[in-house]
Structure 1
Amino acid sequence: MDIGLRGIAAPGGWPVPDCRCASCGRLRAAGIRHEPVSAVIDGVPLEDCARTDVPGGFDVHGPRGGRALVASGPGARPEPVDGVVYDAVLLDLAGSPEHLGYLRHLRAVSDDTEVVAIHVDHRLPSPGELERRMAFWNRPQHGPHRTLLLGGARSGKSAEAELRLAACPDVLYVATGPVRDDDPEWAERIGAHRLRRPAWWRTVETADLVGVLKQEAGAVLVDGIGTWLTTVMDEAGAWDAPSRAQPHLDDLVSAWRGTEARVVAVSDEVGLALVPTTASGRAFRDVLGALNQRLAAESEEAALVVAGRVLELG
Protein backbone atom coordinates (compact mmCIF):
# COMPACT_ATOMS: atom_id res chain seq x y z
CA MET A 1 0.00 0.00 0.00
CA ASP A 2 1.48 3.29 -1.17
CA ILE A 3 0.40 6.27 0.98
CA GLY A 4 1.11 9.84 -0.03
CA LEU A 5 0.41 12.72 2.34
CA ARG A 6 -0.39 16.20 1.11
CA GLY A 7 -1.34 17.37 4.61
CA ILE A 8 -1.13 15.87 8.11
CA ALA A 9 -2.73 18.49 10.34
CA ALA A 10 -6.04 18.68 12.18
CA PRO A 11 -8.91 20.56 10.46
CA GLY A 12 -7.66 23.98 11.57
CA GLY A 13 -4.17 23.34 10.24
CA TRP A 14 -0.99 23.85 12.23
CA PRO A 15 -0.36 26.58 13.27
CA VAL A 16 -3.99 27.25 14.05
CA PRO A 17 -5.08 30.68 12.78
CA ASP A 18 -5.03 33.36 15.50
CA CYS A 19 -3.80 30.84 18.11
CA ARG A 20 -1.25 32.36 20.51
CA CYS A 21 0.08 29.12 22.02
CA ALA A 22 3.83 28.46 21.99
CA SER A 23 3.52 25.57 19.52
CA CYS A 24 1.73 27.65 16.91
CA GLY A 25 4.01 30.59 17.63
CA ARG A 26 7.14 28.57 16.90
CA LEU A 27 5.85 27.35 13.55
CA ARG A 28 4.58 30.77 12.58
CA ALA A 29 7.95 32.35 13.39
CA ALA A 30 9.71 29.69 11.29
CA GLY A 31 7.33 30.23 8.37
CA ILE A 32 6.07 26.65 8.54
CA ARG A 33 2.48 25.55 8.03
CA HIS A 34 1.02 22.05 7.94
CA GLU A 35 -2.23 21.76 6.00
CA PRO A 36 -5.22 19.67 7.10
CA VAL A 37 -5.12 15.94 6.38
CA SER A 38 -5.11 15.03 2.71
CA ALA A 39 -3.91 11.57 1.70
CA VAL A 40 -3.59 9.50 -1.45
CA ILE A 41 -3.67 5.70 -1.30
CA ASP A 42 -2.21 3.87 -4.29
CA GLY A 43 -2.71 7.02 -6.34
CA VAL A 44 -6.36 7.51 -5.34
CA PRO A 45 -7.51 10.27 -2.95
CA LEU A 46 -8.45 8.83 0.43
CA GLU A 47 -12.01 10.16 0.22
CA ASP A 48 -12.53 8.33 -3.09
CA CYS A 49 -11.40 4.93 -1.77
CA ALA A 50 -13.96 2.31 -0.79
CA ARG A 51 -14.48 2.46 2.95
CA THR A 52 -16.65 1.24 5.77
CA ASP A 53 -17.48 3.28 8.84
CA VAL A 54 -16.17 1.89 12.13
CA PRO A 55 -16.41 3.49 15.58
CA GLY A 56 -13.89 6.35 15.56
CA GLY A 57 -13.04 6.23 11.87
CA PHE A 58 -12.94 4.23 8.68
CA ASP A 59 -11.85 0.84 7.41
CA VAL A 60 -10.47 1.76 3.99
CA HIS A 61 -9.97 -0.62 1.05
CA GLY A 62 -7.11 0.50 -1.18
CA PRO A 63 -7.30 0.15 -4.99
CA ARG A 64 -4.70 -2.64 -4.88
CA GLY A 65 -6.47 -4.63 -2.20
CA GLY A 66 -4.71 -3.30 0.90
CA ARG A 67 -6.54 -2.25 4.06
CA ALA A 68 -6.03 0.89 6.14
CA LEU A 69 -7.57 1.99 9.42
CA VAL A 70 -8.06 5.74 9.53
CA ALA A 71 -8.98 8.01 12.45
CA SER A 72 -11.88 10.30 11.58
CA GLY A 73 -10.53 13.34 13.44
CA PRO A 74 -8.58 14.62 16.43
CA GLY A 75 -9.32 12.49 19.50
CA ALA A 76 -10.85 9.67 17.45
CA ARG A 77 -9.76 6.10 18.18
CA PRO A 78 -10.87 3.88 15.31
CA GLU A 79 -11.86 0.31 16.18
CA PRO A 80 -10.44 -2.39 13.91
CA VAL A 81 -12.53 -4.94 12.05
CA ASP A 82 -12.22 -8.34 13.71
CA GLY A 83 -9.58 -10.54 12.15
CA VAL A 84 -8.04 -7.85 9.94
CA VAL A 85 -4.32 -7.10 10.08
CA TYR A 86 -3.97 -3.69 8.49
CA ASP A 87 -1.40 -2.72 5.92
CA ALA A 88 -1.45 0.84 7.25
CA VAL A 89 -2.96 2.83 10.12
CA LEU A 90 -3.45 6.60 10.04
CA LEU A 91 -3.98 7.65 13.64
CA ASP A 92 -4.19 10.64 15.95
CA LEU A 93 -0.88 9.92 17.65
CA ALA A 94 -0.65 13.45 18.99
CA GLY A 95 -3.65 12.84 21.22
CA SER A 96 -3.82 9.06 21.66
CA PRO A 97 -0.48 7.30 21.16
CA GLU A 98 -1.66 4.48 23.41
CA HIS A 99 -4.27 3.59 20.75
CA LEU A 100 -1.42 2.27 18.61
CA GLY A 101 -0.46 0.02 21.51
CA TYR A 102 -4.09 -1.10 21.78
CA LEU A 103 -4.20 -2.02 18.09
CA ARG A 104 -0.95 -3.93 18.43
CA HIS A 105 -2.36 -5.63 21.51
CA LEU A 106 -5.34 -6.78 19.40
CA ARG A 107 -2.91 -7.83 16.63
CA ALA A 108 -4.64 -5.54 14.15
CA VAL A 109 -1.24 -3.87 13.65
CA SER A 110 1.82 -6.00 12.90
CA ASP A 111 5.50 -5.27 12.48
CA ASP A 112 4.83 -4.79 8.75
CA THR A 113 2.02 -2.25 9.22
CA GLU A 114 2.86 1.28 8.12
CA VAL A 115 2.11 3.73 10.94
CA VAL A 116 1.22 7.30 9.97
CA ALA A 117 0.45 10.24 12.26
CA ILE A 118 -2.43 12.46 11.13
CA HIS A 119 -4.57 15.20 12.71
CA VAL A 120 -1.41 16.66 14.27
CA ASP A 121 -1.68 20.12 15.76
CA HIS A 122 -0.65 22.26 18.73
CA ARG A 123 -1.18 19.41 21.17
CA LEU A 124 2.44 18.80 20.23
CA PRO A 125 5.11 21.41 20.96
CA SER A 126 6.79 20.99 17.57
CA PRO A 127 7.17 18.74 14.51
CA GLY A 128 10.52 17.70 15.96
CA GLU A 129 8.77 16.37 19.05
CA LEU A 130 6.50 14.23 16.87
CA GLU A 131 9.55 12.85 15.10
CA ARG A 132 11.19 12.09 18.46
CA ARG A 133 8.13 10.22 19.69
CA MET A 134 7.63 8.31 16.45
CA ALA A 135 11.15 6.93 16.85
CA PHE A 136 10.09 5.35 20.16
CA TRP A 137 6.74 4.12 18.87
CA ASN A 138 8.25 2.44 15.78
CA ARG A 139 11.03 0.78 17.73
CA PRO A 140 11.03 -3.06 18.02
CA GLN A 141 8.86 -4.11 20.93
CA HIS A 142 11.43 -6.45 22.49
CA GLY A 143 14.90 -5.88 23.94
CA PRO A 144 17.48 -5.89 25.01
CA HIS A 145 17.29 -2.12 25.28
CA ARG A 146 17.72 -0.07 28.43
CA THR A 147 16.63 3.52 29.10
CA LEU A 148 17.24 5.44 32.33
CA LEU A 149 15.15 8.57 32.90
CA LEU A 150 16.33 10.94 35.60
CA GLY A 151 14.52 13.89 37.09
CA GLY A 152 13.43 15.64 40.23
CA ALA A 153 10.06 15.52 41.94
CA ARG A 154 7.17 16.41 39.62
CA SER A 155 9.57 16.80 36.70
CA GLY A 156 7.48 14.69 34.32
CA LYS A 157 9.84 11.71 34.27
CA SER A 158 7.12 9.12 34.90
CA ALA A 159 4.92 10.57 32.16
CA GLU A 160 7.89 10.49 29.77
CA ALA A 161 8.52 6.84 30.63
CA GLU A 162 4.89 5.97 29.92
CA LEU A 163 5.01 7.94 26.66
CA ARG A 164 8.04 6.03 25.42
CA LEU A 165 6.25 2.71 25.83
CA ALA A 166 2.74 3.88 24.90
CA ALA A 167 2.73 2.10 21.53
CA CYS A 168 3.83 -1.28 22.90
CA PRO A 169 1.22 -4.07 22.76
CA ASP A 170 2.07 -5.32 26.24
CA VAL A 171 3.87 -3.55 29.08
CA LEU A 172 4.73 -4.77 32.55
CA TYR A 173 4.53 -1.81 34.94
CA VAL A 174 6.72 -2.47 37.98
CA ALA A 175 5.68 -0.29 40.91
CA THR A 176 8.41 -0.39 43.54
CA GLY A 177 6.71 2.00 45.97
CA PRO A 178 5.26 0.60 49.19
CA VAL A 179 1.52 0.19 49.64
CA ARG A 180 0.31 2.74 52.22
CA ASP A 181 -3.29 2.03 53.07
CA ASP A 182 -3.14 4.51 55.94
CA ASP A 183 -2.05 7.45 53.73
CA PRO A 184 -4.95 8.85 51.62
CA GLU A 185 -2.72 11.33 49.78
CA TRP A 186 -0.31 8.56 48.74
CA ALA A 187 -3.21 6.34 47.68
CA GLU A 188 -4.55 9.22 45.55
CA ARG A 189 -1.18 9.53 43.80
CA ILE A 190 -1.05 5.82 43.08
CA GLY A 191 -4.63 5.91 41.79
CA ALA A 192 -3.81 8.78 39.42
CA HIS A 193 -0.88 6.80 38.01
CA ARG A 194 -3.07 3.77 37.45
CA LEU A 195 -5.74 5.76 35.63
CA ARG A 196 -3.08 7.23 33.34
CA ARG A 197 -1.85 3.81 32.25
CA PRO A 198 -3.57 1.82 29.47
CA ALA A 199 -5.99 -0.79 30.80
CA TRP A 200 -4.20 -3.68 29.03
CA TRP A 201 -0.88 -3.03 30.76
CA ARG A 202 0.04 -5.48 33.50
CA THR A 203 1.03 -4.13 36.92
CA VAL A 204 3.11 -5.77 39.62
CA GLU A 205 4.07 -4.22 42.95
CA THR A 206 7.42 -5.64 43.93
CA ALA A 207 10.94 -4.77 44.99
CA ASP A 208 12.32 -7.84 43.20
CA LEU A 209 13.67 -5.92 40.22
CA VAL A 210 16.45 -8.44 39.73
CA GLY A 211 13.90 -11.21 39.22
CA VAL A 212 11.83 -9.09 36.83
CA LEU A 213 14.83 -8.12 34.71
CA LYS A 214 15.96 -11.73 34.49
CA GLN A 215 12.53 -13.12 33.56
CA GLU A 216 11.04 -10.55 31.19
CA ALA A 217 11.83 -10.11 27.50
CA GLY A 218 9.14 -7.59 26.48
CA ALA A 219 8.49 -4.00 27.51
CA VAL A 220 9.02 -3.19 31.21
CA LEU A 221 8.52 0.16 32.97
CA VAL A 222 10.15 0.50 36.39
CA ASP A 223 8.91 3.33 38.61
CA GLY A 224 11.19 3.79 40.28
CA ILE A 225 14.76 3.09 41.32
CA GLY A 226 14.64 5.49 44.28
CA THR A 227 11.76 3.71 46.02
CA TRP A 228 13.42 0.36 45.29
CA LEU A 229 16.57 1.61 47.01
CA THR A 230 14.58 2.77 50.04
CA THR A 231 13.26 -0.77 50.51
CA VAL A 232 16.72 -2.27 50.03
CA MET A 233 18.30 0.03 52.60
CA ASP A 234 15.49 -0.74 55.06
CA GLU A 235 15.85 -4.48 54.64
CA ALA A 236 19.66 -4.41 54.69
CA GLY A 237 19.85 -2.06 57.68
CA ALA A 238 22.01 0.17 55.51
CA TRP A 239 20.97 3.62 56.69
CA ASP A 240 23.86 3.74 59.18
CA ALA A 241 26.10 1.44 57.15
CA PRO A 242 25.50 2.02 53.40
CA SER A 243 28.00 -0.68 52.43
CA ARG A 244 25.46 -3.29 53.53
CA ALA A 245 23.36 -2.41 50.47
CA GLN A 246 26.24 -2.95 48.04
CA PRO A 247 25.54 -6.61 47.17
CA HIS A 248 21.95 -5.70 46.23
CA LEU A 249 23.18 -2.86 44.02
CA ASP A 250 25.68 -5.15 42.31
CA ASP A 251 22.92 -7.69 41.65
CA LEU A 252 20.67 -5.02 40.14
CA VAL A 253 23.38 -3.66 37.85
CA SER A 254 24.24 -7.19 36.72
CA ALA A 255 20.58 -7.95 35.96
CA TRP A 256 20.21 -4.61 34.15
CA ARG A 257 23.25 -5.40 32.01
CA GLY A 258 22.03 -8.92 31.21
CA THR A 259 18.32 -8.31 30.69
CA GLU A 260 16.54 -9.26 27.47
CA ALA A 261 13.75 -6.74 28.14
CA ARG A 262 13.04 -3.38 26.61
CA VAL A 263 13.14 -1.61 29.95
CA VAL A 264 12.55 2.03 30.83
CA ALA A 265 13.36 2.90 34.44
CA VAL A 266 12.66 6.12 36.31
CA SER A 267 15.06 7.36 38.96
CA ASP A 268 15.49 10.49 41.04
CA GLU A 269 18.28 12.89 40.13
CA VAL A 270 19.69 13.69 43.57
CA GLY A 271 22.73 15.73 42.61
CA LEU A 272 20.96 19.05 42.07
CA ALA A 273 19.25 19.40 45.44
CA LEU A 274 20.52 20.83 48.72
CA VAL A 275 22.80 18.68 50.83
CA PRO A 276 20.52 16.65 53.17
CA THR A 277 20.70 17.69 56.79
CA THR A 278 20.65 14.13 58.17
CA ALA A 279 23.22 11.36 57.91
CA SER A 280 20.63 8.94 56.52
CA GLY A 281 19.58 11.49 53.89
CA ARG A 282 23.18 11.98 52.81
CA ALA A 283 23.71 8.22 52.68
CA PHE A 284 20.66 7.77 50.44
CA ARG A 285 21.76 10.59 48.14
CA ASP A 286 25.26 9.19 47.79
CA VAL A 287 24.15 5.60 47.19
CA LEU A 288 21.43 6.52 44.69
CA GLY A 289 23.70 8.94 42.84
CA ALA A 290 26.34 6.24 42.44
CA LEU A 291 23.71 3.69 41.36
CA ASN A 292 22.32 6.08 38.76
CA GLN A 293 25.79 6.45 37.29
CA ARG A 294 26.25 2.69 37.07
CA LEU A 295 22.86 2.12 35.45
CA ALA A 296 23.39 4.97 32.98
CA ALA A 297 26.73 3.47 31.97
CA GLU A 298 24.91 0.23 31.09
CA SER A 299 22.06 1.94 29.20
CA GLU A 300 21.58 2.52 25.50
CA GLU A 301 19.74 5.73 26.38
CA ALA A 302 19.67 8.09 29.35
CA ALA A 303 17.81 11.36 29.65
CA LEU A 304 17.15 14.13 32.16
CA VAL A 305 13.57 15.41 32.48
CA VAL A 306 13.09 18.97 33.76
CA ALA A 307 9.70 20.75 33.79
CA GLY A 308 8.40 18.20 31.29
CA ARG A 309 11.25 18.89 28.86
CA VAL A 310 13.62 16.07 27.95
CA LEU A 311 17.37 16.41 27.59
CA GLU A 312 18.97 13.34 26.04
CA LEU A 313 22.29 12.49 27.71
CA GLY A 314 25.06 11.29 25.44
Structure 2
Amino acid sequence: MAEQRTLILGGARSGKSIAAERRLAAEPEVLYVATGGDDSGNAEWAERVAKHQARRPASWGLAETIDLVPLLESAGPPMLIDCLTLWLSRTMDSLDVWSDLSRSDLVDQRIAELADAWSGTSRVVVAVSNDIGSGVVPADAGTRLFRDLMGRLNTTISLASDEVLWTIAGRTLPLT
Protein backbone atom coordinates (compact mmCIF):
# COMPACT_ATOMS: atom_id res chain seq x y z
CA MET A 1 0.00 0.00 0.00
CA ALA A 2 1.25 3.46 -0.84
CA GLU A 3 1.63 6.23 1.71
CA GLN A 4 -1.63 8.10 2.34
CA ARG A 5 -0.74 11.10 0.12
CA THR A 6 2.10 10.80 -2.41
CA LEU A 7 3.21 13.44 -4.91
CA ILE A 8 5.41 12.33 -7.80
CA LEU A 9 7.29 15.15 -9.53
CA GLY A 10 9.56 15.16 -12.55
CA GLY A 11 10.15 16.57 -15.97
CA ALA A 12 8.29 15.77 -19.16
CA ARG A 13 8.44 12.08 -20.12
CA SER A 14 10.50 11.22 -17.03
CA GLY A 15 8.38 8.20 -16.03
CA LYS A 16 6.14 9.90 -13.46
CA SER A 17 2.91 8.25 -14.59
CA ILE A 18 4.48 4.80 -14.74
CA ALA A 19 5.91 5.28 -11.24
CA ALA A 20 2.47 6.32 -9.96
CA GLU A 21 0.79 3.33 -11.60
CA ARG A 22 3.36 0.98 -10.07
CA ARG A 23 2.74 2.40 -6.59
CA LEU A 24 -0.90 1.36 -6.83
CA ALA A 25 -0.49 -1.78 -8.97
CA ALA A 26 -1.27 -4.18 -6.09
CA GLU A 27 -4.58 -2.47 -5.34
CA PRO A 28 -7.59 -4.39 -6.67
CA GLU A 29 -9.46 -1.17 -7.36
CA VAL A 30 -8.12 2.30 -8.16
CA LEU A 31 -9.84 5.43 -9.44
CA TYR A 32 -7.67 6.92 -12.18
CA VAL A 33 -8.43 10.64 -12.50
CA ALA A 34 -7.40 12.04 -15.88
CA THR A 35 -7.27 15.84 -15.82
CA GLY A 36 -6.20 16.32 -19.43
CA GLY A 37 -9.62 16.69 -20.97
CA ASP A 38 -10.67 15.78 -24.46
CA ASP A 39 -8.41 17.16 -27.14
CA SER A 40 -10.50 15.82 -30.01
CA GLY A 41 -8.80 15.76 -33.33
CA ASN A 42 -5.27 15.77 -31.92
CA ALA A 43 -3.70 12.48 -33.05
CA GLU A 44 -0.62 12.87 -30.82
CA TRP A 45 -2.80 13.41 -27.74
CA ALA A 46 -5.02 10.45 -28.65
CA GLU A 47 -1.91 8.23 -28.95
CA ARG A 48 -0.66 9.33 -25.52
CA VAL A 49 -4.05 8.67 -23.93
CA ALA A 50 -4.22 5.22 -25.57
CA LYS A 51 -0.80 4.29 -24.15
CA HIS A 52 -1.90 5.29 -20.66
CA GLN A 53 -5.14 3.34 -21.01
CA ALA A 54 -3.34 0.21 -22.24
CA ARG A 55 -1.07 0.18 -19.16
CA ARG A 56 -3.90 0.38 -16.63
CA PRO A 57 -5.58 -2.73 -15.22
CA ALA A 58 -9.14 -3.27 -16.45
CA SER A 59 -10.36 -3.17 -12.83
CA TRP A 60 -9.38 0.48 -12.43
CA GLY A 61 -12.12 3.08 -12.70
CA LEU A 62 -11.80 6.31 -14.64
CA ALA A 63 -12.91 9.87 -13.96
CA GLU A 64 -12.06 12.58 -16.49
CA THR A 65 -12.35 15.85 -14.57
CA ILE A 66 -10.58 18.78 -12.99
CA ASP A 67 -13.13 18.86 -10.17
CA LEU A 68 -10.80 17.06 -7.73
CA VAL A 69 -12.10 18.41 -4.41
CA PRO A 70 -15.32 16.32 -4.28
CA LEU A 71 -13.36 13.19 -5.19
CA LEU A 72 -10.79 13.83 -2.47
CA GLU A 73 -13.54 14.56 0.05
CA SER A 74 -15.43 11.34 -0.69
CA ALA A 75 -14.65 7.85 0.50
CA GLY A 76 -13.53 5.36 -2.07
CA PRO A 77 -10.69 3.31 -3.45
CA PRO A 78 -7.16 4.63 -3.85
CA MET A 79 -6.95 7.41 -6.40
CA LEU A 80 -4.30 8.31 -8.97
CA ILE A 81 -4.43 11.89 -10.27
CA ASP A 82 -2.66 12.32 -13.60
CA CYS A 83 -1.78 15.15 -13.62
CA LEU A 84 -1.73 18.37 -11.61
CA THR A 85 -0.03 20.26 -14.46
CA LEU A 86 -2.98 19.66 -16.75
CA TRP A 87 -5.32 20.43 -13.83
CA LEU A 88 -3.67 23.84 -13.50
CA SER A 89 -3.81 24.59 -17.22
CA ARG A 90 -7.47 23.59 -17.48
CA THR A 91 -8.31 25.49 -14.27
CA MET A 92 -6.72 28.59 -15.78
CA ASP A 93 -8.80 27.97 -18.93
CA SER A 94 -12.02 27.61 -16.92
CA LEU A 95 -11.35 30.87 -15.05
CA ASP A 96 -10.35 32.75 -18.25
CA VAL A 97 -6.97 33.60 -16.73
CA TRP A 98 -5.07 33.30 -20.01
CA SER A 99 -6.90 36.34 -21.41
CA ASP A 100 -6.82 38.28 -18.13
CA LEU A 101 -3.72 37.47 -16.06
CA SER A 102 -4.97 39.63 -13.19
CA ARG A 103 -7.46 36.83 -12.40
CA SER A 104 -4.63 34.65 -11.02
CA ASP A 105 -5.94 35.16 -7.47
CA LEU A 106 -8.86 32.92 -8.49
CA VAL A 107 -6.36 30.17 -9.30
CA ASP A 108 -4.66 30.66 -5.95
CA GLN A 109 -8.09 30.08 -4.34
CA ARG A 110 -8.50 26.82 -6.26
CA ILE A 111 -5.00 25.72 -5.24
CA ALA A 112 -5.86 26.39 -1.58
CA GLU A 113 -9.14 24.45 -1.90
CA LEU A 114 -7.32 21.55 -3.53
CA ALA A 115 -4.63 21.55 -0.84
CA ASP A 116 -7.26 21.50 1.92
CA ALA A 117 -9.02 18.53 0.32
CA TRP A 118 -5.67 16.80 -0.28
CA SER A 119 -4.71 17.26 3.37
CA GLY A 120 -8.01 15.93 4.66
CA THR A 121 -8.63 13.03 2.30
CA SER A 122 -9.31 9.61 3.75
CA ARG A 123 -8.24 7.99 0.48
CA VAL A 124 -4.82 6.77 -0.47
CA VAL A 125 -3.95 9.19 -3.24
CA VAL A 126 -1.03 9.50 -5.63
CA ALA A 127 -0.69 12.59 -7.83
CA VAL A 128 1.64 13.25 -10.72
CA SER A 129 2.93 16.74 -11.53
CA ASN A 130 5.55 18.32 -13.75
CA ASP A 131 8.36 20.35 -12.28
CA ILE A 132 8.75 23.12 -14.83
CA GLY A 133 10.64 25.72 -12.80
CA SER A 134 14.18 24.57 -13.55
CA GLY A 135 14.39 26.00 -17.06
CA VAL A 136 14.80 29.44 -18.52
CA VAL A 137 12.54 32.33 -17.54
CA PRO A 138 9.69 32.40 -20.08
CA ALA A 139 9.58 35.42 -22.37
CA ASP A 140 5.84 36.10 -22.11
CA ALA A 141 3.80 37.06 -19.06
CA GLY A 142 1.23 34.26 -19.41
CA THR A 143 3.84 31.52 -19.47
CA ARG A 144 5.69 33.13 -16.54
CA LEU A 145 2.43 33.19 -14.58
CA PHE A 146 1.80 29.52 -15.39
CA ARG A 147 5.33 28.61 -14.26
CA ASP A 148 4.87 30.58 -11.02
CA LEU A 149 1.47 29.04 -10.31
CA MET A 150 2.84 25.58 -11.06
CA GLY A 151 5.59 26.18 -8.53
CA ARG A 152 3.07 27.32 -5.92
CA LEU A 153 0.82 24.33 -6.64
CA ASN A 154 3.66 21.80 -6.40
CA THR A 155 5.02 23.39 -3.22
CA THR A 156 1.59 23.51 -1.57
CA ILE A 157 0.74 19.89 -2.40
CA SER A 158 4.25 18.72 -1.54
CA LEU A 159 4.11 20.25 1.94
CA ALA A 160 0.74 18.54 2.53
CA SER A 161 2.03 15.14 1.35
CA ASP A 162 3.27 12.19 3.35
CA GLU A 163 5.75 11.32 0.62
CA VAL A 164 7.24 13.23 -2.31
CA LEU A 165 9.17 11.49 -5.06
CA TRP A 166 11.28 12.81 -7.91
CA THR A 167 11.37 10.85 -11.17
CA ILE A 168 14.11 11.25 -13.74
CA ALA A 169 14.95 8.89 -16.61
CA GLY A 170 12.58 6.28 -15.23
CA ARG A 171 14.17 6.26 -11.78
CA THR A 172 12.29 7.49 -8.75
CA LEU A 173 14.01 9.04 -5.76
CA PRO A 174 12.50 10.12 -2.44
CA LEU A 175 12.65 13.80 -1.51
CA THR A 176 13.04 14.48 2.18
CA distance in 2, matches of 1:274, 1:308: 24
State the match for 1:208 in structure 2: 67
Contact 1:165 1:171 in 2 (8 A): yes
Unpaired segments ≥5 residues, structure 2: none
Runs of 4+ in 1 over 3 A off after TM superposition: none
Matched, 1:177 2:36: yes
CA distance in 2, matches of 1:215, 1:310: 29
Matched, 1:298 2:165: no
> Which protein, 1 or 2, shows the higher relative CO under an 8 Å CA cutoff with sep ≥ 6?
2
Residue identity over aligned pairs, in percent, reads 45
State the match for 1:162 in structure 2: 21
Q: Encode CA deviations 1:236-287: one digit per residue, 9 max, x unaligned.
A: 1223122221211111011001100100000010121222222111101100
CA distance in 2, matches of 1:190, 1:278: 29
The structure that has the greater radius of gyration is 1
> What TM-score, normalized to structure 2?
0.94
Paired residue type of 1:178: G
State the match for 2:53 in structure 1: 194
Q: 2:78 aligns with which of 213, 219, 231?
A: 219
CA distance in 2, matches of 1:196, 1:223: 13
Unpaired segments ≥5 residues, structure 1: 1-138
Matches within 5 A, 1:78-93: none
> What TM-score, normalized to structure 1?
0.54
State the match for 2:134 in structure 1: 272
Matches within 5 A, 1:1-314: 139=1, 145-239=4-98, 240-241=101-102, 242-314=104-176
Contact 1:237 1:244 in 2 (8 A): no
What is the SS of the residue equivalent to 2:173?
strand
CA distance in 2, matches of 1:299, 1:217: 19
State the match for 1:61 in structure 2: none
What is the SS of the residue equivalent to 2:127?
strand
Q: What's the CA shift for 1:308?
A: 0.7
Aligned length: 173
Q: Encode CA deviations 1:269-306: one digit per residue, 9 max, x unaligned.
A: 01212222221111011001011111111100001101
Q: Encode CA deviations 1:76-122: one digit per residue, 9 max, x unaligned.
A: xxxxxxxxxxxxxxxxxxxxxxxxxxxxxxxxxxxxxxxxxxxxxxx
Contact 1:170 1:200 in 2 (8 A): yes
What is the SS of the residue equivalent to 2:149?
helix
Q: What's the CA shift for 1:194?
A: 0.1
Q: Encode CA deviations 1:200-259: one digit per residue, 9 max, x unaligned.
A: 110110111111101134210000001011111111122312222121111101100110
Instruction: Determine which structure has the larger helix proportion and give its number.
Output: 2
